[in-house]
Amino acid sequence: MTRPHLLMLLLLAGAIEPLLASNQTLDVNEIPQRYDEAQLWRIYNISEAMQRRVPVGQMLEQKFGGNIWKENSKFLDISIARDQLKAARSFLSAHRLDAQILSDNIQTMIDEELLEGIQATASQQGKRAKKATRSSMHWKDYHDLDTIYSFMREIRSKFPNIVRLYTIGQTAEGRDLKVLRISENPRENKKVWIDGGIHAREWISPATVTFILYQLMSNWENQPAHIRGLTWYIMPVMNPDGYEYSRTTNRLWRKNRSPSRQNQCFGVDLNRNFDIGWNGYGSSTNPCRDTYRGSSPASELETKAVAEFLAKRKYNLESYLTYHSYGQMIVYPWAYKAVKVKDSSILQRVGSLAAERIAQKTGTTYRAAVTHEVLGIAGGGSDDWSRAALGVKYVYTIELRDRGAYGFVLPPRYIKDTALEGWTVAETVAQAIGPSSSG
């Protein structure tokens, strides 16, 4: 299908708003970002010595407008715009590096993701008319914030006795930050916190967290004691401004959308903004970079709201689960320093058990490991903070699918199985915590 046809189809489907409504002025930040013929590269064999001399990712970002997708001890995934491909390739060969092309046209991936979702939603609507259910929620496509929040409200109204819906704060652009609590005994139950969508472009994360909510509530009465006996806090979208921006304007946006006081750039990496190892490695002091840590620890409204909400509820808080993508990993502290937590053998065992169960259920390989060993050192993460500041035991960051074939732009047909993998981790951790002594 040629691009004009695809565009027409999307317009007909009402998927794209006309660029300029008649009563609006043009804001450069609202022009949709395109990635026509931009490529996604994987670069292996960057030695540590070389990283110290020429930080490859940083150079590709600064000199060739690259956008880092993933950086770890084994490889660097980075997207390069069409008009920089040649120069970036020369830069690599001058440093005896080679790039494997994971995608030769990122815009095509984005267009196909959108189209597949629209088609899946259309067929879903046919089914729903028959079933006459109210919610427009399903897991064949990614959803906007309104749909996710409606789904949360619907859960609350269906289970008024055990579900409470909190608005724990607002974002820089004035959107609500929402958390659901599910509990039969909030005073005595042990607690689990689950969040998604810290990073805007990782759409599979809110999709997975809403699926976990659905798994819990669609069969609550028949859930085993180790699930029903817990208090569940669920925040599907920790970064609503970034999420909406990634849906309307820049599919690959990562940070929130707070304006910088230093320059024209927007956004703080919320997962570098928590008050743990904030001044350390793995984050940037430059507001224009994707890993900008913010002007101070918890400078961001989202970070502050979550930290304050959890600090008040740290009693009995047994688990902090945060869903990200991509890489298929289940990792635990520490991330901000190259040290293991003292009970790391327990965290490794439960993480490995979750990975085994995932392999049985969907055949997908996940790896359980300590964060700094597989993802490198990074300060300011919510996971480390929950352990250091609140003493939470079962702290995991789950890097969902895939391993780089689509990266953040995971086609909607993979949502269901990936979400099931995310649920399997939550289920396994709940079992490890065990039933509350209060019953």
> In whole angstroms, how close is the CB of 35 to Zn ion at the nearest point?
19
Which amino acid belongs to residue 4?
P
Partners of residue 177 on adjacent β-strands: 169
Binding mask 116-155 for Zn ion (x = CB under 5 A): ----------------------------------------
Interacting stretch for Zn ion, rule CB under 5 A, among 191-199, 297-305, 362-370, 421-429?
191-199
**Is the distance from CB of 278 to CB of 379 less than 8 angstroms?**
yes
Contacts of 257 (CB under 8 A, 6+ apart): 171, 172, 173, 241, 242, 245, 266, 267
Question: Is 199 a residue that touches Zn ion (CB under 5 A)?
Answer: yes
Contacts of 282 (CB under 8 A, 6+ apart): 272, 291, 335, 336, 376, 377, 378, 379, 380
Active site residue 399: yes
Lookup: tokens for 380? 């300011």
Subset of 3-42 contacting Zn ion (CB under 5 A): none
Query: Using the 8-state DSSP alphabet, how is residue 171 labeled?
Result: -
Beta carbon nearer to Zn ion, 242 or 297 = 242
Contacts of 184 (CB under 8 A, 6+ apart): 162, 228, 229
Interacting stretch for Zn ion, rule CB under 5 A, among 193-201, 225-233, 262-270, 352-360?
193-201
From 71, 300, 318, 399, active-site residue:
399
Interacting stretch for Zn ion, rule CB under 5 A, among 178-186, 292-300, 316-324, 377-385?
316-324
Interacting stretch for Zn ion, rule CB under 5 A, among 17-25, 197-205, 308-316, 339-347?
197-205
Angle between helices 204-217 and 145-158 (to 10 degrees): 10
> In whole angstroms, how close is the CB of 380 to Zn ion at the nearest point?
13
> In whole angstroms, how close is the CB of 198 to Zn ion at the nearest point?
6
Beta carbon nearer to Zn ion, 64 or 334 = 334
Residues in the interface with Zn ion (CB under 5 A) total 3
Beta carbon nearer to Zn ion, 199 or 228 = 199
**Is the distance from CB of 276 to CB of 388 less than 8 angstroms?**
yes
Contacts of 138 (CB under 8 A, 6+ apart): 121, 124, 128
Identify the residue among 324, 387, 393, 401 touching Zn ion (CB under 5 A): 324
Question: Is 293 a residue that touches Zn ion (CB under 5 A)?
Answer: no
Residues that bind Zn ion (CB under 5 A): 199, 202, 324
Active site residues: 399
